[in-house]
Amino acid sequence: MKKNSIKGLFAIAFVATVMIFSGCKSKDPSILKVFVRSENNELVASAKVVIIGDVNSNPPTMAYVDTVVTNQSGFAEFNMDDYFNNSGEETTGYFDIIVKKDIKTGEGRIRCRQHITAVETVFFPQ
């Protein structure tokens, strides 16, 4: 066999291997992460974070509500895989965020996409 034909066979085998393994890659999880900060810009632990699907958004988001308490690092993490699995072919969701701790309340808004980590920071007002 000639050198060029051997190189060609190796090139074809390499391309085929790359195509096979790239198709078998696992999908990243859909995560929505909310950081909560005080009026002094300090991260706030033990704050209640509620996300609510915005059914009036364009495109509309499926009705959804979930609540998580921020950890010691001051963020709440929502795994949104169940939301996207139940929403059919929807790959984007828009959510209102309500944060409460003691008598303080903060609000925000976030867009979450399937297989992506979305991050938002909500500040308590002065």
Please tell me whether the overall predicted TM-score, pTM, comes out greater than 0.75 for this model: yes
> pLDDT, tens digit, for every residue of 15-52?
555 555 555 555 899 999 999 999 999 999 999 999 99
**Of 20, 10, 19, 98, which Cα lies nearest the Cα of 53?**
98
- The whole-number pLDDT of residue 66 equals 97
* pLDDT higher than 60, residue 126: yes
On average, the pLDDT of the chain sits at 86
pLDDT tens-digit readout, 43-75:
999 999 999 999 998 888 999 999 999 999 999
Q: Do 48 and 67 contact (CB within 8 A), yes or no?
A: yes
Percentage, residues of the chain above pLDDT 90: 67
State residue 20's pLDDT score.
52
Question: With the CA atoms of 107, 76, 41 and 53 taken in that order, what torsion angle do they form, in degrees rounded to the nearest 10?
Answer: -20
Mean pLDDT computed over 79-91? 88
pLDDT at residue 93, rounded to an integer: 93
**Structural domains in the chain, sorted by start:** 31-123 (2.60.40.1120)
